[in-house]
Amino acid sequence: MKIWSKGQENLNSKIDDYCSGNDIQYDQVLVKWDAVGSIAHALMLEKQGLINQEEKQKILKGLSLVLELDNSEKFVLDKDKEDVHTNIEFFLGEVGKKLHTGRSRNDQIALDMKLYMKDQLVELAELIVNICSTLKEKSNDGWCIMPGYTHLQKAMPTTFSHYLLSYYELLLDDLEYLIKVWEILDKNPLGAGASFGSLLNIDKDITKEKLGFSNLEYNSLKAIGSRGKNETIFLSLLQTIMIDLSKIAQDFILFSTKEFGYINLSDQVTTGSSIMPQKKNADPLEILKAKSVIVSGYQNIVSNISTGMASGYNSDIRETKGLLMKGIDITKQSLEVIEIVVSTLEINKEKMKHSCSQELFATDFASILVKQGTPFREAYKQIGNNIGGFVDQKVIENNLDYKKGKGEPGDKEMATVLAKKLELFYNELEIKKHKFNKAVEELISIAKVC
């Protein structure tokens, strides 16, 4: 029986299946967070006199058992009980009917998704930090000259470390974005009810503190209406991460070909051919590029679902849940894959150096003429019309020594500067993570002692 049933409905089974779809499998991921949110809600209800001490104890004992069963993968949701909220409510028995006091499934799911997303942000942050550390470590052995490219044509000299650390800094941007997404999500929606609050004496500040939120969703309609927008913002973060990873993947595919030969990919990350014995295929990198498009597609779909939606809760938004979860799983897997690829690759320094042919230094030769007083446009023409006519061997041999400015190819302080920035972000995230984890652990502990 549905939680909303009044005993007369006879919902067509095909309609039921169509509406519920695979939603129950995504709700399974939310069991922990629904239970944790319900612990905080029960504590608030008792403090406000809306349930008594005995009822609170029974609710907390039941929720502790839910968490225990879920941890061992034994709390399996029943589709006939509709969703995670009603499955838990039915599991608690008679006292479960009291748990829904002053609460709607609308603010419940808004809360569950926020707690789930905050937990996933912690995992994503740790994976980004791991990659940054691996890029820094690999860059220690990469201060060798190599061609830099624009339009996939040789452009100017760079170093492999300069190249690797460019992705380090791009991922730092993603980490900074992640912190901003956390701050947007770090607002308690519980107490908004169906969107319009409650006549009951609910205290949103209690659940805010218990759940480790920094702020409240002040307007109850906004608290529910922010669903879809929150998922879109989160998927936008995933999209930017995947864009960066896809660019690394494309470069590594090219650099590992025989024609380039700048790097060797480990046997741990390459596959073979069923017919060509010599093949080493960069399959995971090719698949990552495709998956980056898939995550971008999820972001686009969720954004489109959310666009033009009427205020208040609408069932359309249910379809965003699975897309977000799948996007998170893909992105976490992709971060792990790139970390393995970077940590196991070999750098072919001689091949890189050999590829630095004379035309690569053309812009630098033009700069020498500028230093001698020639206007840049004249110098550009002179070098462009006669590439081999002006050669400064000293510029070729000492190119990187001339480019030790901040962030330039010869700047060996670059890794240290970026590491300091990473440390600042990491410390900020640690504070947020500690507050969140502490709140969750305390709620689980409170329930356990009942």
SS3 content of the chain, % helix, strand, coil (to 5): 65, 5, 30
Let me know: does 111 contact 83? Beta carbons within 8 Å. no
Counting other chains too, the contacts that 90-96 makes at CB distance below 8 Å and 24 or more residues apart are: 91/62, 91/66, 92/58, 92/59, 92/62, 92/63, 93/62, 95/55, 95/58, 95/59, 95/62, 96/59, 96/62
Let me know: does 85 contact 30? Beta carbons within 8 Å. no
Tokens of 251: 């470069």
Tokens of 204: 């949103």
Crossing angle for the helix pair 283-306 and 229-255, to the nearest 10 degrees: 160
Taking the C-alpha atoms of residue 129 and residue 332, their distance in angstroms, rounded to an integer, is 12
Q: Catalytic site residues?
A: 151, 273
Taking the C-alpha atoms of residue 82 and residue 2, their distance in angstroms, rounded to an integer, is 7
Beta bridge partners of 264: 346
CA distances from 297 to 232, 304, 325, 445 (A): 11, 10, 13, 40
- Residues in CB range of 308: below 8 A, 6 or more apart: none
Residue 152, sorted as left (phi over 0), alpha (psi -120 to 50) or beta, turns out to be left
